């Protein structure tokens, strides 16, 4: 058994493979095959690598976004060389599966186990989880809010990070056609292909999980892949309704959850445009809302923000139809509403909008400023901050609720739907409100 090892810091691995009788004929950096496949390597080094692959039976490759691509797989296929992937995290597993490789081995696997896998031959990838255990159906979650910067992008980003806990794969999409901001807030390059490229590929019928993995930008080690927004507002015609609908349909199959940040305006423009077939500035927002399984409606928890929200809420309900809406009151603070700020927001939304269930996120300027300064999420900078804990509770109880035991299902309807009626000492009141307990 002759092998080529393309793994960083591979001395221990190579020594162990040779001890098990594997003939390691060449060692390279993990990125070497990708450079050779993309013509980024000097001709002499690329020729030596290709010759080694042709002579080898197997390539042991450390899988990462910059080491594995369809061109690397095609290069090995032409040489008749089997690829054995080594992965360090769930993102590597998804990338190996997207490229059609066999079941990967953890990067920390002992050399003798890797040698046994080389001798045993390729192992077919396991059956899809649906055949063994039905997973939660992937969902498209759209975060919307009225004009006035109620915090849509912050809520969308923090919600995506919380949904990614437990190994879920979450896509964070910036579909704001007026003021995209996710890439700037998270320190990501906004000159890349992003969501606009995904929309173009969707229109051409070439958008799948492999292409989305190539286009997306991973958000550190959070398990979130970001499809950045347009880098200039003038590019809004690229986000047509048909393109956005097709791109989100592909994201539904690619990620467990897709969180979409959209703009505030819901106007359709038909009455102010002479070209009825022309592009619409708000088409991306409306298409995302039509594709949503859940709409997270964000209101700023102050008199002006609540008034704006109530005026726009009726139009939102008319746009989404029967789609469930979870209302979040963001930046809750006593100074703007006086005594019992939470109760005042609840009663106002209930009286004038018929909204009975409201979740609250506290104002947390210290954590938010630290996150903005470091171009990270609040969950990464301050994992125990009040805002992080509130978003985590909202995600766990309103977005992806756990199965309730039989006793909880017998809770009275009025008490369950109107949490503010609980007694002040009842522990369920702060839990249902979405803000951390004092």
CATH code assigned at 61: 3.40.50.2300
Distances (CA, A) of 1 to 57, 86, 182, 236, 326: 6, 18, 49, 55, 58
CATH number at residue 366: 3.40.50.300
Q: Give the pLDDT confidence score for residue 122 in this predicted structure.
A: 67
Whether residue 287 is found in the same domain as residue 145: yes
- Write the CB contacts of 335 (distance below 8 Å, at least 6 apart in sequence): none
pLDDT at 436 over 80: no
> Pick the residue with more confidence: 132 or 364?
364
DSSP H or E segment with residue 77? helix 70-79
Whether residue 169 is found in the same domain as residue 296: yes
Whether residue 267 is found in the same domain as residue 146: yes
Q: Burial of 255 by CB count in 10 Å (0-12 exposed, 13-18 middle, 19+ buried)?
A: buried
On whether residue 374 sits in a domain, the answer given is: yes
Whether residue 317 is found in the same domain as residue 393: yes
* Contact predicate 76/6, CB 8 Å: no
> Pick the residue with more confidence: 280 or 309?
309
Q: Three-class SS of residue 104?
A: coil
On whether residue 201 sits in a domain, the answer given is: yes
Whether residue 155 is found in the same domain as residue 86: no
pTM above 0.75, yes or no: no
pLDDT at 375 over 50: yes
* Contact predicate 211/201, CB 8 Å: yes
Number of domains in the chain: 2
Last residue of a domain, one of 69, 103, 126: 126
Q: Which residue segment(s) compose the domain that 282 sits in? A: 139-402+410-433
Whether residue 173 is found in the same domain as residue 28: no
The per-residue pLDDT for range 396-434, each reduced to its tens digit, is 888 887 554 443 333 333 333 333 333 344 433 443 344
> Pick the residue with more confidence: 430 or 140?
140
On whether residue 56 sits in a domain, the answer given is: yes
Share of the chain above pLDDT 90, in %: 50
Q: Give the pLDDT confidence score for residue 422 in this predicted structure.
A: 39
The β-bridge relationship of strands 294-300 and 139-144 is parallel
Distances (CA, A) of 410 to 405, 414, 415: 9, 11, 11
| pLDDT class of 293 with cuts at 50, 70, 90 | very high
pLDDT at 132 over 60: no
Q: Give the pLDDT confidence score for residue 70 in this predicted structure.
A: 81
Lowest mean pLDDT segment, chosen from 132-146, 174-188, 194-208: 132-146
Residue 275 CB neighbours (<10 A): 6
Mean pLDDT of 111-122: 84
pLDDT at 282 over 70: yes
On whether residue 134 sits in a domain, the answer given is: no
Q: Three-class SS of residue 302?
A: coil
Whether residue 169 is found in the same domain as residue 94: no
Distances (CA, A) of 231 to 177, 184, 260, 374: 10, 9, 17, 21
Whether residue 117 is found in the same domain as residue 160: no
On whether residue 438 sits in a domain, the answer given is: no
Whether residue 90 is found in the same domain as residue 151: no
Whether residue 301 is found in the same domain as residue 365: yes
Cα 72 from Cα 334, distance rounded (Å): 58
Q: Give the pLDDT confidence score for residue 101 in this predicted structure.
A: 87
Whether residue 310 is found in the same domain as residue 169: yes
On whether residue 81 sits in a domain, the answer given is: yes
Last residue of a domain, one of 105, 126, 147: 126
Q: Give the pLDDT confidence score for residue 130 in this predicted structure.
A: 44
Q: Give the pLDDT confidence score for residue 276 in this predicted structure.
A: 53
Q: Give the pLDDT confidence score for residue 138 in this predicted structure.
A: 52
Spatial strand order in the sheet of 324-332: 217-218, 224-227, 170-174, 257-261, 139-144, 294-300, 324-332, 358-362
Cα 107 from Cα 277, distance rounded (Å): 53
On whether residue 131 sits in a domain, the answer given is: no
* Contact predicate 168/257, CB 8 Å: yes
Last residue of a domain, one of 92, 126, 160: 126
H-helix segments, 109-151:
111-120, 129-132
With tokens 């994992």, the residue in question is 383
* Contact predicate 181/153, CB 8 Å: yes
Q: Give the pLDDT confidence score for residue 403 in this predicted structure.
A: 53
pLDDT at 67 over 50: yes
> Pick the residue with more confidence: 151 or 70?
151
Q: Give the pLDDT confidence score for residue 421 in this predicted structure.
A: 37
Q: Give the pLDDT confidence score for residue 51 in this predicted structure.
A: 87
Whether residue 235 is found in the same domain as residue 362: yes
Q: Give the pLDDT confidence score for residue 1 in this predicted structure.
A: 84
Q: Burial of 61 by CB count in 10 Å (0-12 exposed, 13-18 middle, 19+ buried)?
A: buried
Cα 180 from Cα 260, distance rounded (Å): 11
Mean pLDDT of 75-96: 86
pLDDT at 213 over 70: yes
On whether residue 133 sits in a domain, the answer given is: no
Mean pLDDT of 207-229: 92
DSSP structural state of residue 395: I
pLDDT at 53 over 90: no
In b/e form, how buried is each residue of 382-420, taking b as 16+ CB within 10 angstroms? beebbbbbbbbbbbeebbbeeeeeeeeeeeeeeeeeebb
pLDDT at 340 over 60: yes
Share of the chain above pLDDT 70, in %: 85
Q: Give the pLDDT confidence score for residue 409 in this predicted structure.
A: 33
Mean pLDDT of 319-332: 94
Q: Give the pLDDT confidence score for residue 273 in this predicted structure.
A: 52
Lowest mean pLDDT segment, chosen from 147-156, 299-308, 426-435: 426-435
Lowest mean pLDDT segment, chosen from 5-19, 115-129, 135-149, 154-168: 115-129
What integer best gives the mean pLDDT of the chain?
A: 84
* Contact predicate 6/60, CB 8 Å: yes
Spatial strand order in the sheet of 23-28: 23-28, 2-6, 58-62, 82-87, 105-106
Q: Give the pLDDT confidence score for residue 38 in this predicted structure.
A: 78
Give the count of alpha carbons within 13 A of 335, CB side only. Answer: 3
- Write the CB contacts of 42 (distance below 8 Å, at least 6 apart in sequence): none
List Cβ<8 Å contacts ≥24 apart for 205-212. Answer: 207/246, 207/247, 207/250, 208/250, 208/254, 209/98, 209/250, 209/253, 209/254, 210/70, 210/98, 210/99, 212/171, 212/250, 212/251, 212/254
> Pick the residue with more confidence: 209 or 126?
209
> Pick the residue with more confidence: 135 or 214?
214
């Amino acid at each position: 058994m002759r092998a080529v090892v393309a793994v960083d810091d591979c001395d221990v691995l190579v020594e162990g493979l040779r001890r098990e009788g594997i003939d390691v004929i060449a060692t390279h950096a993990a990125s070497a095959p990708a450079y050779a496949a993309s013509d980024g390597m000097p001709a002499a080094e690329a020729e030596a690598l290709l010759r080694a692959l042709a002579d080898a039976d197997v390539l042991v490759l450390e899988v990462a976004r910059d080491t594995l691509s369809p061109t690397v797989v095609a290069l090995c296929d032409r040489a008749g060389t089997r690829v054995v992937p080594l992965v360090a995290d769930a993102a590597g597993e998804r990338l190996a599966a997207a490229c059609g490789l066999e079941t990967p081995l953890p990067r920390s696997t002992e050399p003798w186990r890797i040698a046994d896998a080389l001798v045993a031959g390729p192992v077919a990838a396991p059956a899809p989880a649906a055949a063994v255990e039905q997973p939660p159906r992937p969902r498209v979650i759209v975060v919307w809010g009225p004009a006035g910067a109620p915090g849509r992008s912050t809520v969308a980003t923090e919600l995506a990070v919380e949904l990614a806990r437990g190994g879920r794969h979450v896509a964070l999409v910036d579909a704001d056609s007026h003021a995209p901001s996710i890439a700037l807030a998270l320190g990501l390059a906004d000159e890349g292909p992003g969501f606009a490229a995904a929309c173009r590929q969707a229109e051409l019928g070439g958008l799948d999980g492999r292409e989305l993995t190539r286009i997306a930008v991973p958000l550190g080690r959070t398990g979130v892949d970001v499809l950045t927004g347009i880098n200039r507002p003038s590019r809004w015609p690229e986000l047509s309704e048909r393109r956005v609908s097709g791109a989100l349909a592909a994201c539904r199959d690619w990620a467990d959850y897709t969180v979409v940040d959209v703009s505030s305006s819901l106007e359709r423009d038909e009455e102010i445009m002479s070209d009825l077939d022309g592009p619409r500035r708000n088409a991306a927002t409306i298409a995302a809302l039509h594709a949503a399984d859940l709409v997270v409606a964000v209101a700023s928890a102050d008199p002006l923000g609540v008034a704006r929200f109530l005026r726009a809420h009726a139009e939102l309900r008319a746009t989404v139809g029967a789609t469930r809406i979870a209302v979040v009151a963001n930046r809750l603070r006593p100074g703007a509403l006086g005594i019992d700020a939470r109760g005042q927001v609840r009663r106002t939304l209930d009286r004038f909008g018929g909204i009975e269930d409201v979740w609250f996120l506290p104002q947390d300027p210290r954590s938010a400023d630290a996150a903005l300064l470091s171009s990270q999420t609040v969950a990464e900078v301050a994992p125990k901050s009040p805002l992080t804990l509130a978003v985590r509770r909202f995600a766990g109880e309103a977005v992806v609720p756990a199965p309730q035991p039989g006793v909880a299902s017998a809770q009275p309807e009025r008490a369950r739907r109107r949490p503010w009626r609980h007694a002040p000492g009842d522990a369920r009141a702060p839990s249902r409100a979405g803000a951390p307990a004092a």
